[in-house]
């Protein structure tokens, strides 16, 4: 074979081989199918955080404060009152005047007000007269037995120039009692400062004073007592004489007690006043006790006297 022919065939073969190779090279390579993006399961929204219903704040009910345990005030067990001697200034007398006061059992322990009994002494005695007759003991016994209510007793003294030598009026023992003593007592003690809570009585000369003062001032007293009043000795002028004063307005509203002994020199004049009150239609008590015009008579009947005065104060 000729060299030229082999060469030509060789070139042809090479050309074919190159063409084939080129075809292979230019043929687009199949791209691998992209791996499918994995489908993500749909993201479930997180479950809603449950809204917590706020538990209402309960206002605690206030713990009830227990009622304080009251310690009961122990009942007063006193069975006896006491009698004190004191003085007060009397503008009418112009100086300090003595008096005694009976304060009933438990006066200091109980916050209450008490009626007051003014008891006037006989002459020539003083503010100790009624005490010596047993007025304090009789009051204690009556209160303890519930026969008497607790009450105050005032036993005043009076200077002779007023107690013996005057019969009534502003500058007399009447003025001393009405204008000085009673206001002082009402300021100083827990009294029932009214007519219904006040009584007055007296022995002999004091009995005349009690009648004169009560008949002149019936708006101040609910009761008056005269024990063996010396009406035949202590003769008062008409403006102050109980026989004249009984017709004054208000006297008939008083509770009145008169007594004397059957052998008492004051019995006759006391009975005369009793009869005059009857004629006037004024209610009163008149009692004749056995005895003379002496301390024994009044001491024997002091419990009866107190019962009369306190009758209007029993609850």
**184-236, pLDDT tens digit by residue?**
999 999 999 999 999 999 999 999 999 999 999 999 999 999 999 999 999 99
Taking Cα atoms as reference points, which of 216, 43, 191, 217 lies closest to residue 117? 191
Distance CA 16, CA 255 (A): 172
Contact in structure between 62 and 120 (CB atoms under 8 Å): no
Give the pLDDT confidence of 11-62 residue by residue, as tens digits: 444 444 444 444 434 344 344 444 444 444 444 444 444 444 444 444 455 5
Average pLDDT over residues 63-73: 52
Distance CA 159, CA 172 (A): 10
Identify the pLDDT of residue 151.
98
DSSP three-state, residue 160: helix
Residue written as token pair 């008490």 = 114
Residue written as token pair 């304060």 = 103
Distance CA 209, CA 214 (A): 8
β-sheet bridge partners, residue 260: 288
The CB density around residue 186, as the number of other CB atoms within 10 Å, is: 16
More confident residue, 185 or 70: 185
The DSSP secondary structure of 182-251, one letter per residue, reads HHHHHHHS-B--SGGGEEEEEETHHHHHHHHHHHH-TTT-SEEEEES--TTTSPPPGGG-HHHHTTSTTG
Cα–Cα separations (whole angstroms), residue 265 to 103, 147, 230? 34, 32, 9
Identify the pLDDT of residue 77.
86
Average pLDDT over residues 138-151: 97
What is the per-residue burial (b if ≥16 Cβ within 10 Å, else e) of 8-32? Answer: eeeeeeeeeeeeeeeeeeeeeeeee
What are 248's two structure tokens? 């004054």
Cα–Cα separations (whole angstroms), residue 173 to 42, 84, 148, 219? 122, 22, 29, 18
Taking Cα atoms as reference points, which of 236, 245, 193, 244 lies closest to residue 218? 245
pLDDT at 104 over 80: yes
Distance CA 228, CA 262 (A): 10
Q: Which domains does the chain have, with CATH numbers?
A: 82-313 (3.40.50.1820)
Contact in structure between 252 and 288 (CB atoms under 8 Å): no
Q: What do you get for the CA distance between the two ends of the chain, in Å?
A: 177
Distance CA 304, CA 312 (A): 14
C-alpha neighbours within 13 Å on the C-beta side of residue 77? 1
- Could you tell me what percent of the chain has a pLDDT over 90? 74
Contact in structure between 243 and 276 (CB atoms under 8 Å): yes
Identify the pLDDT of residue 9.
54
């Amino acid at each position: 074979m000729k060299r030229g022919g082999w060469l030509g065939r060789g070139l042809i073969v090479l050309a074919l081989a190159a063409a084939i190779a080129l075809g292979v090279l230019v043929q687009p390579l199949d791209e691998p199918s992209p791996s499918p993006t994995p489908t993500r399961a749909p993201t479930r929204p997180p479950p809603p955080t449950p809204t917590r219903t706020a538990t209402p704040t309960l206002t605690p009910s206030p713990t009830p404060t227990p009622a304080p345990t009251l310690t009961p005030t122990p009942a007063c067990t006193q069975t006896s009152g006491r009698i004190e001697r004191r003085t007060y200034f009397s503008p009418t007398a112009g100086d300090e005047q003595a008096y005694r006061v009976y304060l009933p059992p438990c006066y200091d322990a109980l916050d209450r007000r008490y009626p007051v009994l003014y008891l006037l002494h006989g002459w020539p005695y003083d503010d100790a007269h009624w005490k010596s007759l047993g007025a304090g003991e009789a009051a204690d016994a009556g209160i303890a037995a519930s026969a008497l209510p607790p009450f105050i007793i005032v036993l005043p003294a009076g200077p002779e120039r007023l107690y013996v030598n005057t019969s009534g009026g502003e500058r007399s023992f009447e003025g001393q009692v009405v204008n000085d003593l009673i206001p002082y007592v009402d300021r100083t003690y827990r009294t029932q400062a009214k007519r219904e809570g006040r009584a007055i009585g007296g022995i002999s000369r004091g009995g005349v004073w009690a009648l004169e003062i009560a008949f002149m001032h019936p708006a101040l007293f609910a009761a008056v007592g005269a024990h063996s009043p010396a009406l035949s000795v202590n003769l008062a002028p008409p403006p102050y004489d109980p026989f004249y004063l009984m017709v004054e307005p208000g006297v008939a509203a008083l509770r009145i007690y008169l007594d004397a002994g059957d052998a008492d020199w004051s019995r006759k004049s006391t009975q005369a006043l009793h009869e005059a009150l009857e004629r006037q239609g004024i209610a009163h008590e008149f009692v004749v006790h056995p005895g003379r015009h002496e301390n024994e008579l009044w001491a024997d009947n002091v419990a009866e006297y107190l019962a009369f005065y306190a009758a209007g104060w029993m609850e």
